[in-house]
Amino acid sequence: MAKPIIVHADWDPEAAVWVATTQDLRGLVTEADSIEALRAKLPGMILDLLEAGGVSDLPVSIEIVARASDRLTAAE
């Protein structure tokens, strides 16, 4: 795999976790309390999914694109 695996991490304020998915690798969906925890979790999961899919073209790079939003309201 020459191109990086792009992982999208979105903050879920209701669950208070980062939810990670990718279109580059079927079956990758996970969550973590922090981006750091997500970064620690992803390599093992990605290697497992690559092995299960018969992909042995390593090394593979992982790019995480994180997105969070906050709503601002006027002070009362």
Q: Write out pLDDT tens, residues 14-71.
A: 999 999 999 999 999 999 999 999 999 999 999 999 999 888 788 889 999 999 998 8
- Residue 47 sits at φ, ψ, to 5 deg, of -60, -45
2 has pLDDT over 80: no
Class of domain 5-67: alpha beta
In 3-state terms, what secondary structure has residue 50? helix
1 has pLDDT over 60: no
